[in-house]
Every structure is written in structure tokens, then in C-alpha cells.
């Protein structure tokens, strides 16, 4: 009995899509669209329709080039690197990076003291805004590690660098964020 | 309440882990649009990437290339043979030279099975007659 979409591995779904199985493509979107949207939003894609359009474009590009996915990183991390490239292209077309005001960032903290919520929200909003000002490699490494929990080795494979260099980028990002927050 | 100058790496990582958590997208809508778009553009482009199609194309390419090469080699061999015989007059060759030419043509193996005579049994006149007959 064949496995259902939910229980199949990414690699099995990718292979099925390579044979033209649209249900496999649908399942891959269901599985990875929300984390991809979070990553792209934090990287500066904004929210709402902008990020949804970018997520859609990322999947389209990935599915059309599925034969180039070698499995050196997970499919999700690969998607995020494609999304990051598309975001860069989008900014290049507009010839600017987005201006992000701290007031526009609305990060909600569900727990704790109301006064702490304000501070926590403020700090998260400031971090969110500062992350978008980081150099691209630092930003992608920082988000993949801190937001997505990806290991350095996989980050390095996905971004075409070494694990040691990825660690250095991460610590530079932390140092820069601390300096901006202090 | 935590002061901002108390911020350390863990605080930043904790806050970063929540980045983008307020973003909401309609995943089912994205899936529908992606599949619809793939249906119109990507699927026709996929058929030629299949391994079986690539294998067949490679086999055809090898056959065509091989056929052309064999044809050219055959043409060149015929030209070379003609060139090697024509400029040199048979009259200029000694008995040994004539024997070597005949041996190189390797035409007498079947005949040797029918007759006990070998090339060494022919005299010079007979060899010349034989070669002239072959030329004609």
C-alpha cells in the first residue's frame, strides 16, 4: 500500500514530482510554505501578499529546477536559499532595500507581564528591523541558524561556504545586532 | 523587566526564533496557484528530461556519429589504396618489392588453399602479369 502524502519523505515526493505527480508538489508546498514565509518575511519580504507571492515564486522556481536539487541540504533549506535569491532580485529590480520602521513590526509575545511584553515586543521588533540591514550572507546564516535551527554544516552546504565560515558569519551578525541594540 | 544593555546572545537568539511568527499566508491557495502554473508551463518542459528519453537520444546520436565515421574511414581507405598504387610504376619494382606489395594486399590466402603454388614460386614476369591483371 503506497504511503500517504503526509507520511512520505521529501525525497520521495521530489522524485514523484520529477515524474509529474502534481499531488507530490502540492504536499511539498503544504509542508514547507509556512516556514519559508517566516524566513522570507524576517529577511525583509514584508508580510501579506508580498511574502505570499514570493513563496509562490520560490516554489515555482524550485519545481522547475528540481533536477538541480542534489540533497546536500534539506529541501526546506534549499527553498530558503532560492527565496533569498528571489528577494535579492526583487530588491534589485526596485533598486532599493525596503525601509522598515520599528512601528511597522508587530511581534506578539503571548506570555508574561504586560510591561515585559512591550519590552519583548520592542526588542523583537528592533532585532527584526536590524536583521534586514545585515549583509546578505550574515542575514541568511543568522536566520537559518537562529530562526530555523539549521546546523552549520547544512547552512554551509546550502549557501556554498564552509561550516567554519558560517560560524564566523553568525557571530558577526550577533555582534552587530548587540551593538545596534545596546 | 530586562534592561536592554543586559542583552546577550541567548536573548537575541530567542527573539530571532520568533521573527516572522506573525506572518500568515494561505498555504492552500499557494499550492493551488503553484500547481496551476506548473501545469501550464513546466510539465511540457519535463518530458525531455526523463532518463529514458535521454538514453534514446544518446543512442541515436552514437549511431549517427558512428555511421558517418565508418563511411568516412571507408572512403579514405579506398583513396589511400589507389594513391599508394598509382604513382609507382610496377616496372620499377624488384621481385622482392612486388612480393611485398602482393603480401600487403593479402589477397592470396584463399587461393593458397586451392593451389600448392605460393608467391615465391612465381617468377618476375608472372608476378608483373598478375599485378597488371589486378590493376586492370
Task: Give the pLDDT band of residue B101 (cuts 50, 70, 90).
Answer: low
Averaging pLDDT over each range in A53-67, A88-102, B91-105, which range is the top one? A53-67
Confidence check: pLDDT of A32 > 90: yes
Q: How far apart are CA A124 and CA B20, in angstroms?
A: 10
Q: Tally the C-alpha atoms within 13 A of residue B63's C-alpha that lie toward its C-beta.
A: 6
Task: Give the pLDDT band of residue A95 (cuts 50, 70, 90).
Answer: low
Confidence check: pLDDT of A129 > 50: yes
Q: Average pLDDT, stretch A164-179? A: 94
Confidence check: pLDDT of A98 > 60: no
**Averaged confidence pLDDT in chain B:** 72
Confidence check: pLDDT of B115 > 60: no
Q: How far apart are CA B8 and CA A175, in angstroms?
A: 10
B55 touches A at CB < 8 Å: no
Question: How would you write chain B as a 3-class SS string?
Answer: CCCHHHCCHHHHHHHHHCCCCCCCCCHHHHHHHHHHHHHHHHHHHHHHHCHHHHHHHHHHHHHHHHHHHHHHHHHHHHHHHHHHHCCCCHHHCCHHHHHHHHHHHCCCHHHHHHCCCCHHHCCHHHHHHHHHHHHC
Which domains, and CATH codes, for chain A? Answer: 1-98 (1.10.1740.10), 114-182 (1.10.10.10)
Lowest-pLDDT choice from A93-107, A167-181, B95-109: A93-107
Contact (CB, 8 A) for A24 and A16: yes
Q: Where are the domains of chain B?
A: 25-87, 88-136
Q: Which residues of B touch A40 (CB under 8 A)?
A: 20
pLDDT digits (tens, 9 = 90+) for A45-87: 876 678 999 999 999 999 999 989 988 899 999 999 999 999 9
Q: How far apart are CA A85 and CA A143, in angstroms?
A: 15
Q: Which residue reads 542583552 in cell numbers? A: B7
Structure confidence at residue A108 (pLDDT): 39
Structure confidence at residue B110 (pLDDT): 47
Contact (CB, 8 A) for A129 and A102: yes
Minimal-distance CA residue of chain A relative to B1: A116
Selected residues 29-88 of chain A with any CB under 8 Å from a CB in chain B: 29-30, 33-34, 37-42, 47, 51-52, 55-56, 59-60, 63-64, 67
Question: Dihedrals φ, ψ of A109, to 5°?
Answer: -110, 115
More reliable by pLDDT, A128 or A139: A139
Minimal-distance CA residue of chain B relative to A171: B9
Q: How far apart are CA A65 and CA B92, in angstroms?
A: 71
Averaging pLDDT over each range in A53-67, B2-16, B34-48, which range is the top one? A53-67
For residue B93 the three cell numbers come to 619494382
Q: How far apart are CA A45 and CA A39, in angstroms?
A: 9
Q: Average pLDDT, stretch B94-110? A: 66
Q: How far apart are CA B56 and CA B45, in angstroms?
A: 17
Q: How far apart are CA A173 and CA A154, in angstroms?
A: 18
Amino acid at each position: 500500500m503506497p504511503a500517504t502524502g503526509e507520511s512520505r519523505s521529501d525525497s520521495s515526493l521530489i522524485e514523484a514530482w520529477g515524474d509529474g505527480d502534481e499531488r507530490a508538489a502540492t504536499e511539498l508546498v503544504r509542508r514547507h510554505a509556512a516556514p519559508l514565509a517566516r524566513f522570507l518575511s524576517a529577511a525583509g519580504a514584508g508580510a501579506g501578499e508580498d511574502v505570499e507571492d514570493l513563496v509562490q515564486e520560490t516554489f515555482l522556481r524550485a519545481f522547475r529546477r528540481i533536477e538541480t536539487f542534489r540533497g546536500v541540504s534539506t529541501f526546506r533549506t534549499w527553498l530558503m536559499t532560492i527565496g533569498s535569491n528571489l528577494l535579492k532580485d526583487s530588491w534589485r529590480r526596485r533598486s532599493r532595500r525596503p525601509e522598515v520602521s520599528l512601528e511597522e513590526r508587530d511581534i506578539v509575545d503571548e506570555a508574561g507581564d504586560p510591561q515585559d511584553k512591550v519590552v519583548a515586543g520592542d526588542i523583537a521588533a528592533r532585532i527584526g528591523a536590524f536583521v534586514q540591514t545585515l549583509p546578505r550572507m550574515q542575514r541568511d546564516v543568522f536566520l537559518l541558524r537562529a530562526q530555523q535551527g539549521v546546523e552549520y554544516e547544512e547552512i554551509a552546504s546550502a549557501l556554498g561556504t564552509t561550516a567554519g565560515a558560517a560560524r564566523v558569519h553568525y557571530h558577526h551578525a550577533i555582534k552587530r545586532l548587540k551593538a545596534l541594540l545596546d | 523587566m530586562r534592561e536592554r544593555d543586559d542583552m546577550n546572545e541567548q536573548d537575541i537568539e530567542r527573539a530571532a526564533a520568533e521573527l516572522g511568527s506573525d506572518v500568515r499566508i494561505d498555504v492552500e491557495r499557494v499550492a493551488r496557484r503553484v500547481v496551476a502554473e506548473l501545469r501550464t508551463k513546466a510539465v511540457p518542459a519535463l518530458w525531455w528530461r526523463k532518463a529514458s528519453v535521454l538514453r534514446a537520444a544518446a543512442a541515436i546520436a552514437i549511431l549517427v556519429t558512428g555511421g558517418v565515421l565508418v563511411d568516412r574511414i571507408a572512403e579514405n581507405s579506398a583513396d589511400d589504396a589507389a594513391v599508394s598504387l598509382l604513382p609507382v610504376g610496377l616496372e620499377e619494382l624488384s621481385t622482392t618489392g612486388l612480393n611485398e606489395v602482393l603480401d600487403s594486399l593479402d589477397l592470396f590466402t584463399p587461393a593458397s588453399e586451392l593451389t600448392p603454388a605460393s608467391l615465391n614460386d612465381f617468377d618476375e614476369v608472372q608476378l608483373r602479369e598478375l599485378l597488371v591483371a589486378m590493376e586492370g
